[in-house]
Structure 1
Amino acid sequence: MTTPSTRTDVVIRTYGPGQVLPMLDVVADIWADAHPELVDNPGAASLGLSVPALHRQITGHLKHTGLALVVAYAGGTPVGFAYAFPCSADYWFGPDLVDQVPEAARTERLMGLCELAVRPPWQSQGIGSNLHAALLMAIAPKWSSLLALPSNRRGQGLYARLGYTYAGAYSNTPDGPEFDLLLLHVQAAE
């Protein structure tokens, strides 16, 4: 499926699980461009914030039914991507946070937004918002949730504009980085 962006020269394409593996290097390259502060940072790599970790993360998530990858192209060049999948509240929030989110977010269709990245020259042009909208269209959730580093000001700003609110602090491992768990009631955002 192809979705036009607000920019006339940007097209967003949606890929299903069987089409993701051939796109791994493309999305890893976009991720690396969007996160230069993490790429050559051994501390970030030790926390699982690296291109190899992204490869492992995406490959591991392919088991989830309904996974969708969206890629923004400008003049045929990939400039942004996002991916998500429908998931259970227990899986996404974990035992420490599941009881802290609204009951509806635990019982209605939930989308776990795993990554959203746009190359720096293309940021602040509506591409991230359009990638997000394409995922919502592909997955049709009632709720969406994601993890964002508190230090990621551009990402935090985008997620706030999209209507996400803080739901709690989250860490996938005891020694891992602390993320902000953000939550969006999709019905309220329409």
Structure 2
Amino acid sequence: MSPALALQRYGAGDTTDLLDTLADVWAEAHTGHHDVAAAGFTPDTLRRQITGHAHHDGFVLVAAYAEGQLVGFGYGFRCSPSYWYGEQLRPAITPDARDTDSLAGICELAVRTGWQGRGVGTGIHTALLEALRTEWVSLLAMPDNGPARQLYDRLGYRYAGPYSAGPDGPVLDLLLLRTPL
């Protein structure tokens, strides 16, 4: 991680003032990813998503700053396997992760393009794991997002199966990580 990088942890009550900046970082991180827009993900979707997720117990957002500018962020919260996987996918999940009471979902991890590949995503991820303190962590990834998948593979995530939030929703890759707690 770059020595000029500072990580800041935020709780649910802190997100409102950050929403526009987070949306800007997210939009830049996804520039050129036409599959993201085709799946219906937009900066406005992100704003609604963060606002809705901030009501969950254990919500935490980690922001990375360099030279006073927000260059990346990630957030997640503790949740139940039924909530996160849904009943349809739950039987396909490894029993340890399916039956745990120690699970967190990471909902977003975005880094400005000029800061990608410099350890920012890894630093944010590490800070999220430290804050969430669960035995299992899961996240969803676009199937064709090679750079993100390279990061998740390097962090130790394993493919668990396809995930869709509904019959008309995009199919995403569900990834699982057993944390070292």
> Structure 2 length normalisation: TM-score?
0.94
Q: Percent identity?
A: 47
Once the two structures are superposed, what CA deviation does each residue of 1:48-95 show, in whole Å capped at 9, x if it has no partner?
A: 310111111111111101100000000110000000000000000001
Query: Which of 92, 96, 103 pairs up with 2:84?
Result: 92
Alpha-carbon distance change, 119 to 44 in structure 1, aligned in 2, over 3 angstroms = closer
Q: Is 1:73 matched up with 2:65?
A: yes
Asked if the contact 1:108–1:143 (Cα under 8 Å) also holds between the matched residues in 2, the reply is no
Distance 2:36 2:129 in 1: 30
Q: Which residue number in structure 2 is paired with residue 136 of structure 1? A: 129
Greater mean alpha carbon deviation, residues 55-64 or residues 96-105: 96-105
Distance 1:135 1:44 in 2: 23
Shift of 1:44: 4.9
Distance 2:119 2:134 in 1: 21
Aligned-residue CA RMSD in angstroms? 1.5
Distance 2:176 2:38 in 1: 27
Distance 1:21 1:169 in 2: 32
Q: What letter corresponds to residue 164 of structure 2 in structure 1?
A: S
Q: Where do residues 139-178 of structure 1 align in structure 2 (5 Å cutoff)?
A: 139-178=132-171
Q: Which residue number in structure 2 is paired with residue 63 of structure 1? A: 55
Secondary structure of the residue aligned to 2:32 is helix
Q: What letter corresponds to residue 179 of structure 2 in structure 1?
A: V
Query: Which of 12, 17, 28 pairs up with 1:17?
Result: 12
Distance 2:87 2:158 in 1: 20
Q: Which residue number in structure 1 is paired with residue 45 of structure 2? A: 53
Q: Which residue number in structure 2 is paired with residue 120 of structure 1? A: 113
Distance 1:85 1:25 in 2: 21
Give the ranges of 4+ consecutive aligned residues of structure 1 lying more than 6 Å apart after TM superposition.
none
Distance 2:84 2:96 in 1: 14
Shift of 1:103: 2.2
Gaps of 5+ in 2: none
Aligned length: 180
Shift of 1:46: 6.3
